[in-house]
Chains A and B, each alone.
Chain A
Amino acid sequence: MKAKFLVPLVLFLVLAGFLAFGLNLNPREVPSPLIGKPAPVFKLGQVAAPEQAFGTEDLKGKVWLLNVWASWCVACRQEHPVLVAISREKALPIVGLNYKEVRGDGEIDARKLDAATEREMAVSRARQWLVSHGDPYDTSVMDLDGRVGIDFGVYGVPETFLIDKKGVIRFKQIGPVTPEAWRDTLLPKIRALQAES
């Protein structure tokens, strides 16, 4: 019973250990329940050709990346050069999901515009962004109302999903894809998935 005076110290150290562990977790990274589940089916107009639909059906049998982006997204600007560099490697198809593009003329009151004009303005804004920042996408689709985004559980842009040949989501990168994340995490996973039959 001589070591009794050490009890508070031990308790403190245990508590400090728990707190230190908690401090090093990233609260913004919420693990997605969709990993290991089939990717939500979508069919949306493309940025390049809004009247032409493109969707999950068109990617059957391929390992592909779905990158969620928008012209209003600041972290996307940081991520974009990395994606452009990745697209040059031609490792796999990269599909962009333009999530909730700025509506209308970007002013507070968008009521004066009808839906078709609003859509047109959003599409041209998205195109402009791809022209000035480079276009790493095989194609990008417009998710103006964010419905497909909700189906994918998107809560912070950019997000990137890795989808396998069977259409199952295998990995989700929350936040920008960095060169390290590409080299150390994404690329090895992609190679492994591509080797699957």
Chain B
Amino acid sequence: MISLRYWRAALVAAGLGLALPGFGGEAALVVADPVLEARVLKLSEHLRCLVCQNQSIAESQAELALDLRSQVREQLAAGKSDDEVVEFMVARYGDFVLYKPPVKMATLLLWAGPALLLVAGLGWLGWRLASRRREQPAELSAAEHARAEALLAGRDKEGES
């Protein structure tokens, strides 16, 4: 019995061992130019798919994303620079295709916002600390002094003071 079980396990293991490289081979893309493809993918990751707006055209399988990806590939193959391809996309679809919006008047608040918040927060903190330092401890009256002493000596009773 033991030997049968052993053989079964060995068979499964061998099957897995055979199957895994098989899958690997299937998934490998057949591309003519791996260097170009890497560039296409890298650039595509920065471009938004307008059909499924939370995916880049590298991830999306929407028809438009496929078309745009092949546009990117074609233009890079034709010797255009990354910036030229991005310009091509922005000219047609606007800044919205860029995951990283350009710095200009309309996006100034977006870019400067976090820094402004940080500065404002630090300013507020500094102001609070400074005004706290200026606060004088209140002077105690004679009765309060007496009660404080009583408290320290452990003689205070409820309603005694």
Chain A residues proximal to chain B, CB less than 8 Å:
27-28, 30-34, 100, 145-146, 150-153, 155-156
In the complex, which residues 41-97 of chain B have their Cβ closer than 8 Å to any Cβ of chain A?
Answer: 50-51, 53, 63-64, 67-68, 71, 90-96
Query: A34 CA to B90 CA in the complex, in Å?
Result: 10
Question: Quick one: closest B residue to A100, CB to CB?
Answer: B63
Q: Which of A27, A32, A146, A152 contacts B67 (CB 8 A)?
A: A146
Chain B residues proximal to chain A, CB less than 8 Å:
50-51, 53, 63-64, 67-68, 71, 90-96
CB distance from B137 to the nearest CB of A (A): 21
B91: chain A residues within 8 A (beta carbon): 33-34
Tell me whether A150 and B50 are in contact in the complex, defined as CB-CB below 8 angstroms, given that A33-B91, A33-B92 are known contacts.
no
Tell me whether A150 and B67 are in contact in the complex, defined as CB-CB below 8 angstroms, given that A27-B53, A33-B90, A156-B50 are known contacts.
yes
Query: A151 CA to B68 CA in the complex, in Å?
Result: 11
Question: Quick one: closest B residue to A153, CB to CB?
Answer: B92
Query: A32 CA to B71 CA in the complex, in Å?
Result: 19
B50: chain A residues within 8 A (beta carbon): 30, 155-156
Query: A153 CA to B64 CA in the complex, in Å?
Result: 10
Sample 13 A-B pairs with CB under 8 A, ordered by A number: A27-B53, A30-B50, A31-B94, A32-B93, A34-B92, A146-B63, A146-B67, A150-B67, A150-B68, A152-B92, A153-B94, A155-B93, A156-B51
Q: Which of B53, B90, B92 contacts A150 (CB 8 A)?
A: B92
CB distance from B93 to the nearest CB of A (A): 5
Contact present for A30 and B93 (CB under 8 Å): yes
Contact present for B94 and A155 (CB under 8 Å): no
Contact present for A32 and B63 (CB under 8 Å): no
B92: chain A residues within 8 A (beta carbon): 33-34, 150-153
Question: Quick one: closest A residue to B96, CB to CB?
Answer: A30
Q: A32-B93, A33-B92, A151-B92 are in contact. List 14 more A-B contacts (CB 8 A).
A: A27-B53, A30-B94, A30-B96, A31-B94, A32-B94, A33-B91, A33-B94, A146-B63, A150-B67, A150-B92, A153-B93, A155-B51, A155-B64, A155-B93
B63: chain A residues within 8 A (beta carbon): 100, 146
CB distance from A170 to the nearest CB of B (A): 17
